[in-house]
């Protein structure tokens, strides 16, 4: 049956039979880089259209329906518009940092793709500290936002960047503790081992109540970390025009715009891997016939299906809840989510020591 694993193995075998090992490895790295860039472009096109469709559905309106059949080419039209728009740099801006910031945002997003297991035996780098790598590299994103806000020489941009810095640093704590809650019973930071630990059930089911609480906290925290509504104080249109990217236009704005959607995909991919088994099919105990049928569905379909389900959930948040004030946002983290996360981690640790999980 068609799967990403078979395609990867076929390419790997052909390259190693045609070229020596050094050239074959180099070509594989180039192919991987091109594949990641292509995935970025496709995610940008698909997720923008998906969000507009979901927004229209929830607000009982049509949404994109003019450019292409059923508006399917609307994202392509927006991309062309951004490509041809002139990229302006304000006179008082720090030109080097102003131009560097969007590229840092994209580089960070590309680095985060490395340890994610997109399918069975299909990932760029099966790092033994994959979860720690994701948590560490993702924290660099705040640097590009602070850099963009400060270098723009605009008070709205600076205020948006400072809000974003406070928000990301705060909610990283709850997100990290939610991740640790699942890592405790697994005992490994490696993505392949995390997926394999769910062969007899996803952790959101066999981790009892602490796993469900961790999942809820994780989804709230990563929504805030990615500056998505109702936590989009960094770019609150009613207060700060466009926040930290107020002065950006053309492709530099497009890079920030794209990195936001790619980051949403990455956090949802991590959530799907930790809580929903990643590419692992849905199995029920000793139901051999049912489990065998589930195995017929390609692992890549399972992974992307779960990831896009979580993306839908984050988009659902945006069109359901009103935007919080900055004091409400920080109170939610420091007074509620963080204490609950700490207690939940202790509870899961106790369950893991006693062996009280499926």
pLDDT one-digit tens code per residue, 118-131: 888 888 888 889 89
236 phi and psi angles, rounded to 5 deg: -70, 110
Task: Write the DSSP symbol of residue 244.
Answer: G
Average pLDDT over residues 327-333: 89
Higher pLDDT, 303 or 295: 303
Residue predicted with more confidence, 235 or 78: 78
- Please give the distance of CA 98 from its chain centroid, rounded to a whole number: 25
Name the token pair of 272: 């799907």
- Checking if the pLDDT of 341 tops 80, the result is yes
Residue 64 domain-assigned (yes or no): no
Instruction: Determine the pLDDT at residue 173.
Output: 92
User: What residues does 119 pair with on adjacent strands?
Assistant: 122
> Where residue 311 falls among pLDDT bands split at 50, 70, 90?
very high
Instruction: Establish if 120 belongs to a structural domain.
Output: yes
Print burial letters for 192-223: b (CB count within 10 Å at least 16), e (below 16).
bebbebbeebbbbbebbebbebbbebbbbbbb
State the pLDDT at residue 331: 92
Per the prediction, the chain carries an average pLDDT of 88
* Domain annotation covers residue 308: yes
φ and ψ of 161, to 5 deg: -65, -40
What is the torsional sign of CA 64, 67, 70, 71?
Answer: negative
Query: Does 282 map to a domain?
Result: yes
Whether the bond between 230 and the residue before it is cis, its omega within 30 degrees of 0, is: yes
pLDDT at 283: 81
Total structural domains within the chain:
1
Tell me, yes or no, whether 149 lies in a domain.
yes
Residue 310: what pLDDT? 96
Alpha-carbon torsion angle 139, 144, 149, 150, nearest 10: 100
Assign 324 a pLDDT band (cuts: 50, 70, 90): confident
- Measured distance CA(327)–CA(352) in Å, rounded: 36
Q: Name the token pair of 208.
A: 């009892």
Rounded CA separation 112/225 (Å): 15
Cα–Cα distance, 254 to 238 (Å, whole number) = 21
The reported pLDDT for the residue numbered 307 is: 96
Residue 106 lies in a domain: yes
The tokens of 323 are what? 């935007």
For 68-98, how does the pLDDT look when each residue is reduced to its tens digit (9 = 90+)?
Answer: 888 888 888 988 888 888 888 888 888 899 9
In a domain, 9, yes or no: no
Is residue 358 predicted with pLDDT exceeding 80? no
Tell me the CA distances in angstroms from 233 to 149, 167, 211, one per residue in order: 14, 9, 29
pLDDT in tens, 237-260: 666 667 788 888 888 888 888 888
At 295, give phi and psi (nearest 5°): -70, -20
Residue 345: inside a domain, yes or no? yes
Q: Are 269 and 303 in contact (CB under 8 A)?
A: yes
Residue 2: is its pLDDT beyond 60? no
Q: What is the predicted pLDDT for the residue at 108?
A: 92
By CB atoms closer than 10 A (0-12, 13-18, 19+), residue 273 is buried
CA dihedral 179, 183, 189, 193 (to 10 degrees): -120
Q: Give the domain range for residue 292.
A: 92-354
**Average pLDDT over every residue of 258-275:** 93
Residues ≥6 apart with Cβ < 8 Å to 349: 184
The mean pLDDT value for 31-55 works out to: 90
195 near 203, Cβ under 8 Å?
A: no
């Amino acid at each position: 049956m068609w799967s990403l694993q078979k395609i990867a193995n076929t390419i790997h075998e052909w390259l190693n039979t045609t070229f020596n090992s050094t050239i074959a490895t180099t070509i594989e790295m180039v192919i991987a880089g091109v594949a990641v860039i292509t995935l970025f472009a496709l995610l940008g096109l698909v997720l923008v259209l998906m969000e507009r469709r979901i927004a229209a559905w929830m607000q009982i309106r049509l949404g994109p329906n003019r450019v292409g059949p059923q508006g399917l080419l609307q994202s392509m039209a927006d991309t062309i518009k951004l490509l041809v728009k002139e990229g302006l740099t304000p006179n008082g801006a720090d030109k080097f940092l102003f131009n560097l910031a969007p590229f840092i945002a994209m580089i960070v997003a590309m680095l985060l793709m490395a340890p994610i297991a997109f399918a069975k035996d299909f990932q760029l780098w099966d790092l033994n500290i994959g979860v720690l790598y994701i948590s560490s590299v993702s924290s660099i994103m705040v640097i590009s936002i602070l850099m963009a806000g400060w270098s723009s020489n605009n008070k709205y941009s600076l205020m948006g960047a400072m809000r974003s810095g406070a928000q990301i640093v705060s909610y990283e704590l709850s997100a990290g503790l939610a991740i640790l809650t699942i890592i405790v019973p697994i005992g490994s930071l490696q993505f392949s081992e995390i997926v394999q630990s769910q062969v007899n059930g996803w952790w959101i089911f066999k981790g009892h109540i602490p796993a469900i609480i961790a999942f809820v906290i994780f989804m709230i925290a990563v929504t805030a970390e990615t500056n998505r509504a109702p936590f989009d104080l960094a770019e609150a249109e009613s207060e700060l025009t466009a926040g930290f990217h107020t002065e950006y236009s053309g492709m530099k704005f497009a890079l920030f715009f794209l990195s936001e959607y790619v980051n949403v995909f990455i956090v949802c991919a991590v959530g799907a891997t930790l809580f929903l088994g990643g590419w692992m099919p849905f199995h029920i105990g000793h139901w051999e016939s049912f489990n065998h049928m589930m195995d017929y569905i390609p692992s890549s379909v399972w992974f992307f299906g779960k990831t896009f389900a979580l993306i839908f959930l984050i988009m659902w948040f945006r069109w359901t809840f009103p935007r919080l004030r900055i004091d409400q946002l920080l109170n939610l983290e420091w007074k509620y989510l963080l204490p609950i996360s700490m207690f939940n981690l202790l509870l899961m640790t106790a369950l893991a020591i006693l062996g009280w999980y499926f």
